[in-house]
């Protein structure tokens, strides 16, 4: 999904620093978003974040002479990323956060890789390896622990709705990942991202108009700090940083490292908001984390086998030519 060109690449030491920053900023943002929802409606919050992120990234892209209209072959995926990964995901997450603790929300929203496994098997015909099966079983066990039917308040429609929205957000992101797998982008990530954010803001705007009252926004210093964190930092900087990290570090390293985001979010929510660290949440997170690791390692092994096969084929061809 991200071009691997050398232009603008950073060194590995810088990449590690950027990766640590992304994990921290995105993890801490879960209690920040929860706090911000006291001052602004959820969909309005998501729209403001997209608009601020688009402005910052457009300015950076223009400064780097990369701000240009997307190629027509990129538009279907620009729309897909903007509508699913950004608009739908952030809209559902912000609404779900109203009813679900920030730490638990971070765990559920980051179950995306679990849903990618069965979708890739059904839609792309990918093999269901032993590691993938183990990862899927562990992950689903973690979700089952979080949704303990004996402890879950099924009589509270808001609780059910909030948890369901977070899982649905993760599923939508997984659908997008499967759909864009293998797409050859024409534009650079920095040149396309402002347009994706604009698409997301435009998609959220009608829902804001029909379902929310912007007059309820409590403008002031608290909301200003929340938006300043979410727009330039959690959206613009973190997206750019992840692009740089993906170019500089192996995919397996990046994938496993980003799994620390919900852990940071869980701890940050406990410290900042006083959310209880429960046994069910901790066990559920541990199982989901284990499932994600198994699934990611399976993908890494598959990539290594493909590289090895390609290398052997190249050697064989060279030998025959000799």
Give the tens place of pLDDT for each residue, 156-180: 888 889 989 998 998 888 887 777 6
Residues of the chain under the 70 pLDDT cut: 1-10, 147-152, 180-183, 185, 243, 246-247, 250-257, 296, 298-300, 302-322
Single out the residue of 114, 119, 107 nearest to residue 166, CA to CA.
Answer: 107
**What number of CA atoms fall less than 13 Å from residue 282's CA on the CB side?**
7
Q: Distance between CA atoms of 169 and 91, rounded to whole angstroms? A: 9
Tens digits of residue pLDDT in 242-277:
767 766 776 556 666 677 788 888 889 888 888 887
Residues 6+ apart with CB under 8 A from 189: 2, 3, 243
What is the predicted pLDDT for the residue at 7?
47
Q: Distance between CA atoms of 237 and 227, rounded to whole angstroms? A: 14
Token pair belonging to 308? 């090895």
Single out the residue of 175, 236, 197, 196 nearest to residue 21, CA to CA.
Answer: 236
Cβ-contact 252, 296 below 8 angstroms: yes
Cβ-contact 193, 239 below 8 angstroms: yes
Token pair belonging to 152? 């879950």
Which residue is listed with tokens 């929205």?
A: 165
What is the predicted pLDDT for the residue at 310?
60
What is the predicted pLDDT for the residue at 253?
60
Cβ-defined contacts of 275-278 (< 8 Å, 24+): 275/101, 275/102, 275/103, 277/103
What is the predicted pLDDT for the residue at 4?
40
Q: Is 249 helix (H, G, I), strand (E, B) or coil?
A: coil
Angle among Cα 210, 213, 216 to the nearest 5 degrees reads 165
Quote the pTM value: 0.77
Angle among Cα 57, 60, 66 to the nearest 5 degrees reads 95
Token pair belonging to 40? 């602004």
Where would I find the H helices in the chain? 12-36, 42-63, 75-80, 89-97, 102-109, 112-124, 130-146, 157-180, 189-211, 221-228, 238-248, 251-258, 260-273, 279-321
Residues 6+ apart with CB under 8 A from 232: 52, 53, 56
What is the predicted pLDDT for the residue at 119?
79
**Residue 133 CB neighbours (<10 A):** 14
Q: Distance between CA atoms of 40 and 12, rounded to whole angstroms? A: 39
Give me the sign of the Cα torsion angle 214, 43, 232, 224.
Answer: positive
């Amino acid at each position: 999904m991200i071009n691997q060109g050398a232009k603008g690449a950073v060194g590995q030491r810088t990449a590690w620093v950027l990766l640590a920053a992304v994990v921290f900023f995105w993890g801490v943002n879960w209690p920040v978003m929860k706090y911000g929802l006291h001052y602004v409606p959820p969909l309005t919050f998501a729209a403001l974040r997209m608009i601020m992120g688009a402005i910052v990234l457009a300015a950076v892209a223009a400064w780097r002479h990369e701000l240009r209209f997307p190629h027509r072959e990129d538009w279907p995926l620009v729309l897909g990323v903007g509508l699913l990964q950004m608009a739908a995901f952030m809209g559902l997450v912000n609404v779900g956060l109203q009813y679900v603790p920030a730490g638990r929300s971070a765990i559920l929203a980051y179950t995306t890789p679990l849903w990618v496994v069965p979708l890739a098997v059904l839609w792309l015909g990918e093999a269901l390896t032993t590691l993938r099966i183990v990862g899927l079983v562990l992950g689903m066990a973690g979700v089952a622990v979080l949704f303990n039917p004996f402890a879950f308040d099924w009589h509270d429609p808001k609780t059910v709705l909030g948890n369901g929205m977070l899982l649905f957000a993760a599923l939508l992101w997984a659908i997008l990942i499967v759909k864009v797998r293998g797409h050859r982008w024409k534009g650079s990530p920095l040149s396309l991202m402002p347009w994706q954010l604009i698409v997301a803001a435009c998609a959220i705007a009608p829902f804001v108009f029909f379902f929310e009252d912007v007059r309820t926004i409590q403008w002031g210093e608290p909301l200003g700090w929340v938006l300043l964190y979410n727009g330039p930092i959690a959206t613009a900087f973190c997206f750019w940083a992840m692009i740089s990290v993906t170019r500089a570090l192996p995919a397996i390293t990046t994938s496993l490292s980003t799994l620390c985001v919900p852990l940071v979010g869980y701890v940050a929510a406990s410290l900042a908001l006083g959310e209880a660290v429960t046994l069910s949440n901790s066990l559920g997170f541990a199982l989901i984390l284990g499932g994600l690791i198994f699934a990611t390692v399976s993908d890494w092994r598959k990539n290594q086998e493909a590289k090895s096969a390609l290398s052997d084929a190249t050697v064989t061809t060279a030998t025959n030519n000799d």
